[in-house]
Structures are given as C-alpha cells and as structure tokens.
Amino acid sequence: MSEFTSGNLFLNTNWEIVKQLAPSGALLKQLNKEWMLLLTKDNYMEDYEAPEYIYNISKQAPILYFYNFEDHFWGYRLFYGGEEVADVHISLEFEEEILHEIAMERNPDKKFSQLLFSGILDGLREELKSNNTFEEEYKYIFDRSNVDKFSLFGLDEIQINSLKRLLNIENAQDIGAAFHIKDDFKKALDIEEMSWIRHERILESQEYEEFIK
C-alpha cells in the first residue's frame, strides 16, 4: 500500500491563530514539539487553487502545505502574507504533465480525452522529445523553491543553506533523483513524522487534538 500524505503545517506558537480561522470540520493535530497540522477535507490542493482560508491564515501565520503521494509525486506550497510565496512539485509523471499542459494550450477547444484517442498526443510527445523540451522544462523544477522563505518558520542560515543544496538541479539531475530527496527535505525541516497523514485517516483514528465545529 502506497503512502498518501497531505496536510498544512504551522508552528505550535500559532495554534490560536489557526484555530480561529480554520473551517468547520478541520482537525488540529500536533506533529511534534515544533510543528502542528491543519487537516481539512479539501486538503488535496497540489494541483488546484488553495482555499480562501489558507490565504487568510497566512496573513497572520506562515503555512506550509506538504504532500507525498508515494507512487506519483511530492512537493510543497508555502503561503505567507495572503500569498503563495514558494512551491516545488516533483512528479514521476513529469513528462506526461508537461505533455498535458502543452497539448491543452495548443488545443483549447478539445477535451484531453479527444486528444488521447486522436493520435495527436503521440506526435506531440515525439516532437517534445526531439526538441529536448522535457529536459529544458526540468531545469526550472526548483525555480520557485524560494528556500529563504523557510526563515519564516525559524530556520537559521545553516538550515537554509542545507535546503538550498538539497533543492538544487545540481543535486537532483533527473526526476528520479529529485523524487527521492523528500526524506532529506523532511529531515531538514524536522517534520519526519509527516507520513501516512491525511484528514480522513486521522479523523478515523481520532489521533488529533481538536475538531473544529
């Protein structure tokens, strides 16, 4: 069974702020002595616009959305000041995601299923391989990592520099290497306990500190 983890991390010191702004049905869970979690039903926002309450909370406290869908992708989104200020998305389906994006840009009047069965995708895939589009796009995978923003969570210069070395194209020269640095990323942030955690799983086990009514 593959790991399926998703949740919003924030510092323990911001418990009351998050509690006041969290939506009904949310769970607050202590991860460790430094970090807490906000878990919600709509917590799967790796590909979607974040809910309004995330932006509202971030105006008063930084929020780190972390996700790890073990056989597919992992990454993070960092929110502060009512904005998304950093993100990284690393997917084993990286080439397929690029293919999907470009195909839909070129064919806005068609559904992806139509392209799938028309043969258009096969030709586009060969085009992107031959002109090295996949390799060129991969070079930008860490461009929005904005590691300096992790100082919002109290990380010092040594820890920030460690993250910079980790989230660097020289350290992860292909998608396979990048996919496997997630454990080092968690260790650098001291969130190693962030595993097998998501709203419905924690709700069922009742391993939370507070349920927001």
The tens digit of pLDDT for each residue in 97-145 reads 888 888 888 888 888 777 777 778 888 888 888 898 888 888 888 999 9
Domain that holds residue 81: 4-211
Give the confidence band of 46 by pLDDT, cuts at 50, 70, 90: low
Place of tokens 């002595």: 33
Percent above pLDDT 90 for the chain: 62
Instruction: Give phi and psi for 39, each to the nearest 5.
Output: -115, 130
Q: Within 13 Å and on the Cβ side, how many CA atoms surround 170?
A: 3
Express each pLDDT in 56-101 by its tens digit.
999 999 999 999 998 889 999 999 999 999 999 998 888 888 888 8
Region 153-168: mean pLDDT is 94
Q: How many CB atoms within 10 Å of residue 57?
A: 25
Q: Above 70 in pLDDT, residue 4?
A: yes
6 residue type, one letter: S
Query: Which residues, in sequence order, are CB contacts of 24 under 8 Å at separation 6+?
Result: 212, 213
Domains held by the chain: number: 1
